[in-house]
Amino acid sequence: VDDFEIETVGLDLLNVSFVAMRKKKPASRPSALARRLRAMERVKEAIAVAQSEKWSIAQLAKLANLSPFHLCHVFRQLADTSIYDYVLQERLAQALDAVLGGDDELTAIALDAGFASHSHFTARFRGFFGCTPAGLRRTATAARLAELRKIVTARAH
């Protein structure tokens, strides 16, 4: 488990607690929604440019001009996923291309994609794609590759 995951899970749990205590959902003004969408897009753009960056919620919140708690809440609300899961998907998409596109060692690919270790990378890769990176390299077919790319695209949107 990495620090970024711990941060996002903690803030998501806090948000779930607050939502459960709230009697009804407050209405959002259109201008507030537009600001939140812009903030989320700034965060997505930063992540897309540097997937392997060792992000923290504080760094991303500063880019979004929101508090860390509010960023996690807004991101989950608008993207229907946590920031951690979004970053993980971006990293795995980058790693998929590296796994399939060359003979680089998997440890180097894992570290270049921003994972803490080869085992962390392998566990996340298996959870997302249903196979290990080494297993994919051994059994890769054109149809299987197309299927995996569809998984990445579908989950990102």
| pLDDT attached to residue 4 | 82
| pLDDT attached to residue 125 | 92
What is the token pair recorded at 146?
């197309």
**Euclidean distance between CA atoms 98 and 92, whole angstroms:** 10
| pLDDT attached to residue 122 | 94
What's the rounded mean pLDDT across residues 70-79? 90
pTM of the entire structure? 0.76
What is the token pair recorded at 143?
């149809």
Report the 3 state secondary structure along the chain: CCHHHHHHHHHHHHHHHHHHHCCCCCCCCHHHHHHHHHHHHHHHHHHHHCCCCCCCHHHHHHHHCCCHHHHHHHHHHHHCCCHHHHHHHHHHHHHHHHHHHCCCCHHHHHHHCCCCCHHHHHHHHHHHHCCCHHHHHHHCCHHHHHHHHHHHHHHHC
| pLDDT attached to residue 154 | 66
| pLDDT attached to residue 108 | 92
Q: pLDDT (tens digit, 9 = 90+) per residue, 75-107?
A: 988 888 899 999 999 999 889 888 887 778 999
| pLDDT attached to residue 156 | 56
| pLDDT attached to residue 86 | 92
Taking the CB of residue 67, how many other CB atoms lie within 10 A of it? 15
pLDDT tier for residue 27 given thresholds of 50, 70 and 90: low
**Euclidean distance between CA atoms 155 and 17, whole angstroms:** 26
Q: pLDDT (tens digit, 9 = 90+) per residue, 107-154?
A: 999 998 888 889 999 999 999 888 899 888 887 766 666 777 777 766
